[in-house]
Amino acid sequence: MSAEPTRERLLSLIEAFSRVKVLAFVDLVADEYILGRISRVSREAPVLILDYDESRIVPGGGANAVNNIAVLGGQALAVGVVGNDPAGRELLSQLRKAKVDVSGVESLEGYTTPTKTRILAGGPHSAKQQVVRIDRKTRVPAERELRLRVDAALQDRLREAGAVMVSDYGYGLVTKELGCDLARRAASLRKAAVLDSRRAVCDFRGFTSATPNEPEVEAALGVAIGHDRKALESSGRKLLRTLRLRSLLVTRGKDGMALFEPRRQTRSIPIYGSDQVTDVTGAGDTVISAYTLALGAGASFYEAALLANYAGGIVVMKRGTATVSGEELARAVESDRRG
């Protein structure tokens, strides 16, 4: 087993993030938050009435992963699709403000930008809690001309990228054909390609690495892992072989992470910070962003996993869809007593 990286080594990798361009092929999602104060119980039905305070839209899904790359200090080249609707326009506006290159994003007439609306309620002196989530589901049109334009955008940006990140939320953009072809091209150029697929991880081959969470591994293989270390080990090894990966990083919530590599002992990484998390929304997006950036900066898989673990531990202590800055990540590395 390789030696633990020094604190100085991890800090040097974070500093190198600014020199890494990441081609991000992602499902762009808008996360909408509606906030209000509970005023009374309705006389029409046994439900609470909320007095509206404010609403906002932030990058969600793959857009959150792209946003995290930019906030961490990297350079993001986004390829994806939004609708020519208020949510899509706001999403592009926010990504541009974060200095994300969105020239590879298609804005489609007649397509509805996937939107997850979370309604949060609370009293004047208490933290607001999520009451309900409303998902506006949609599918990217399966049009040949659109696929050709997306493929051309991927090819153009791959030349200048130092690493590739694919975030598939199941909206039909990241097809098996486009995803696997992109992974093959990246491999031919010796560039790391990292995959996060919520429901179809077994459809993809040829990626350098993948970052599923434990429930996604269970669903993909039809197994139950829980706290069974043997089940985790056998499942991780099977997925590593099936997808022909050079590494597999499984996120396990309060149980931390497990890193699998061929012909190497599995590395268990305990959670950074407290296991009393505030909000897990978007934590997986932060993990893949930090992991991909680190690989693009020259990190080993273990070093990248450690930095992703720090980033994930920071973001789950924030409310809502959130990001982690390079400065926050560096402070975590500097202050961690394990360093």
Alpha helices in the chain (DSSP H): 7-16, 62-71, 86-97, 144-158, 176-188, 214-221, 229-242, 283-296, 301-315, 326-335
| 285 carries an active-site annotation | yes
115 contact partners, CB below 8 Å, separation of at least 6: 29, 30, 31, 32, 57, 87, 135, 136
299 contact partners, CB below 8 Å, separation of at least 6: 13, 307
Query: Which residues on adjacent β-strands are paired with residue 51?
Result: 37
- Distance from C-alpha of 40 to C-alpha of 28, rounded to nearest angstrom: 37
Amino acid at site 104: G
Rg (CA), the chain: 20
The catalytically annotated residue of 27, 85, 255, 285 is 285
- Cα pseudo-dihedral 304, 100, 326, 63, rounded to 10: -60
Tokens of 62: 């793959």
| Residues taking part in catalysis | 285
